[in-house]
Amino acid sequence: MNRWITVLCRVAFVVVCWLFLHCLWITWDGMRPFTGKADVAIVLGTTLKSNGNPSPWLRGRIVAALNLYRRQQVKKIFVSGMIETDTHFRQGTVMKDYLVQGGVNPNDIIVDNYGDNTYLTAVHFNELNNQYHFNSAVVVSSYYHITRSRYIIRKMGYKNMLYSDFSRALFWKDWQGLPRDCVAFYKYLLVY
């Protein structure tokens, strides 16, 4: 019995160490700023406030995309999010409105209100890319969400240059998202 406990403890130790190293990788990978140019920014949604305004986490992502657009690093912005189940606010539309108020030409914004999760955003972006033929794209999200987002967008068929940029708005909540996204990466690896 003691032997099995020892083996189980060692396996648990290896798994915890692996997840810790993966969290370090996700942080390093997700916090590299984008300095080049791309055809489109892909902004992944997250929660809205109860009044329909962007939450601080979503606003950070939108501002990151807005800055890329203002610096002429991207030509178009693809915003993807869900329709909130309790309020029926559309995350994609809210993001578009915020970007338009920030000076983005409405014709340069593509809205997806059915990106209920990262996987669906990737599927919808790849369907859209069949029409637009983007040669390069920049994933814009919270730093801990970048690695998994890029992985699934490629897995769903995007073969061109794929970069990333992250929300500079950092929150205590990010420390909850980091281990969650680490585990979710392996779910995506196994399921999709």
pLDDT recorded at residue 71: 98
pLDDT recorded at residue 176: 87
pLDDT recorded at residue 85: 86
Cα–Cα distance for residue pair 192/186, rounded to 1 Å: 10
- Calculate mean pLDDT across residues 99-115: 97
Domain that holds residue 120: 2-191
pLDDT recorded at residue 147: 97
Judging by beta carbons within 10 Å of its beta carbon (0-12, 13-18, 19+), is residue 19 exposed, middle or buried? middle
pLDDT at residue 106 is higher than 90: yes
Judging by beta carbons within 10 Å of its beta carbon (0-12, 13-18, 19+), is residue 171 exposed, middle or buried? middle
Tell me the residue length of the chain.
192
pLDDT recorded at residue 173: 83
- Provide the whole-model pTM: 0.93
Any idea what the Cα angle at residue 59 is, between residues 58 and 63, rounded to 5°? 120
pLDDT recorded at residue 79: 98
Tokens 């990151």, residue located: 64
Residues 33-91 have pLDDT tens digits of 999 999 999 999 999 999 999 999 999 999 999 999 999 999 999 999 999 988 899 99
For the chain, what is the domain count?
Answer: 1
Cα–Cα distance for residue pair 103/171, rounded to 1 Å: 26
Q: 3-state class of 176 per DSSP?
A: helix
Provide the CATH number for the domain around residue 61. 3.40.50.620
Residues 124-176 have pLDDT tens digits of 999 999 999 999 999 999 999 999 999 999 999 999 999 999 999 998 888 88
